[in-house]
């Protein structure tokens, strides 16, 4: 069965808490991770929470990367959702694991948009208007 998207749900445990607080660094590194996986960055928005913790999103032409951090637990929830054959979200995963210095990860890969009755090649959005 064909699917439009590939979505990796990542739990990064045992991270360096300082990395999970650094909003500016996380934004830069998430954009780097998108580049590295072959994705095209369209936009990104990262926010710092009180007393600490970061939420961030990179919108890519091929869907999105997101992160939510809990420095107090050394934990980050990361989603790597990509479409098309030219992007490899696992490259972003490996890079971000290293960036966050996570020593314990859990991942689930889901197929998104499974079309039972469609024949031919599935398209993803190729370019931002």
Residues forming the active site = 63, 68, 83
| Exposure on the CB side of residue 119, measured as CA atoms within 13 A | 0
Q: Does residue number 53 form part of the binding site for a second copy (CB under 8 A)?
A: yes
Adjacent-strand bridge partners of 5: 83, 112
Q: Judge contact between 82 and 60, C-beta under 8 A.
A: yes
Q: Does residue number 86 form part of the binding site for a second copy (CB under 8 A)?
A: no
Q: Which residues bind a second copy (CB under 8 A)?
A: 4-5, 7, 9, 11, 42-43, 45, 47-50, 53, 55, 57, 59, 61, 63-64, 66, 68, 70, 72-73, 75, 77, 79, 81, 83, 108, 110, 112-115, 118, 122-123, 125-129
């Amino acid at each position: 069965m064909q699917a439009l998207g590939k979505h990796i749900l990542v739990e990064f445990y045992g991270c360096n808490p300082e990395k999970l607080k650094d909003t500016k660094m996380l934004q830069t590194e998430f954009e780097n991770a998108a580049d590295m996986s072959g994705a095209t960055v369209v936009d990104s928005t990262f926010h710092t929470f009180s007393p600490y913790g970061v939420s961030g999103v990179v919108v890519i032409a091929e869907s999105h990367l997101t992160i939510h951090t809990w420095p107090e637990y050394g934990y980050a929830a990361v989603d790597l959702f990509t479409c098309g054959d030219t992007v490899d979200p696992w490259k972003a995963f490996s890079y971000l694991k290293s960036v966050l210095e996570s020593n314990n990860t859990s991942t689930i890969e889901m197929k998104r948009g499974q079309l039972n009755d469609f024949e031919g090649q599935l398209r993803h959005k190729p370019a931002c208007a």
